[in-house]
Amino acid sequence: MRMNFAGKTLDMAQCHVMGVLNVTPDSFSDGGRFNQVDAALARARQMVDDGAAFIDVGGESTRPGATPVPLDEELDRVCPVVEAITRELDVIVSVDTSAPEVMRETVALGAGLINDVRALQRPGAPEEMAKHKVPVCVMHIQGEPDYMQDNPSYRNVCQDVSAFLAERLRVLEAAGVEGDRIILDPGFGFGKTVRHNFQLLGALEQLQQLGHPLLVGMSRKSMLGHVTGKEVSERLSASLAAATIAAMKGVSIIRAHDVRETVDAVKVVTAMEEAGR
């Protein structure tokens, strides 16, 4: 029921909001490392004030065609921000990474969750996470970020995603990552057509059957652009509709850019559920 994120515990029967904090160079225009860390900390502080339970710090772009970030560069981007947030703010720091070295360094700095869009498929990643006690979010992806959108194909997307996650659970538990610290994520937009994404959204209950807390991220994604015809900057309402659906289907964590608004949407769902108990 409760999960321990490096000393901060949360009831996973409740729905929490995770704010997105990109620390890629294009997200904070130049100004040197100090100013970048400072700007990232200010943005994190705003999201905490807005009600975020997690801040998801990511130093690598998973957009198809993005240039891969060398390990040293990822460490240089992410570590100072993780250190600053854990020192200054009362929030769980999540680190969006696939690199075992980044997992090791950021957990040592106080990160409370490792969020891996590659489901710990990199060599050494399961073994690295087995050495620590922090929870990990294992996300479904078909292929690699670079080519995942080329021709996504499934026999049955819900069954296939569920089978992939069940297999990762088996592999991770065999490597020594306890099941009670594994969070699952269907990976909206990661090797999926718009239709696949909406089939998954409709079938989140099926993924709940795996018996682990769920995390979802649909905020501003192209599945919402496709149905509304809107650009990224105009997708707030659609993002809130998607977040509301996910909350109603019992997900534990919603990854979002617009924390303030998403927290309100989640509060409406929570109030309804509490009134019914």
- Catalytic residue, from 168, 192, 221, 249: name it: 221
The answer to whether 97 and 21 are in contact (CB under 8 A) is: no
Q: Please list every residue from 21 through 60 that binds ligand 8Y4, using CB under 6 A.
A: 58
CB under 6 A: which stretch of 70-78, 212-220, 238-246, 263-271 binds ligand 8Y4? 212-220
CB of 20 to ligand 8Y4, least distance (A): 6
137 binds ligand 8Y4 (CB under 6 A): yes
Q: Which residue is nearest to ligand 8Y4 (CB)?
A: 217
Figure out which of the listed residues 44, 188, 243, 266 binds ligand 8Y4, where binding follows CB under 6 A: 188
CB of 27 to ligand 8Y4, least distance (A): 11
238 binds ligand 8Y4 (CB under 6 A): no
What is each CA distance from 239 to 10, 200, 254, 257, 262, in whole angstroms? 24, 16, 11, 9, 8
The answer to whether 141 and 187 are in contact (CB under 8 A) is: yes
Give the count of beta carbons closer than 10 Å to the beta carbon of residue 92.
Answer: 28
What is each CA distance from 164 to 30, 121, 141, 182, 272, in whole angstroms? 40, 12, 9, 14, 33
255 is catalytic: yes
Rg (CA), the chain: 17
One character per residue 93-132, x = contact with ligand 8Y4 (rule: CB under 6 A): ---x------------------x-x---------------
The alpha carbon dihedral of 180, 197, 151, 230 has a sign of: negative
Q: Which is nearer to ligand 8Y4, 28 or 188 (CB)?
A: 188
Strands 215-217 and 8-11, bridge-based pairing: unpaired
Which residues lie near ligand 8Y4 (CB under 6 A)?
58, 62, 96, 115, 117, 137, 139, 185, 187-188, 215, 217, 220-221, 232, 255
Catalytic residues: 221, 255
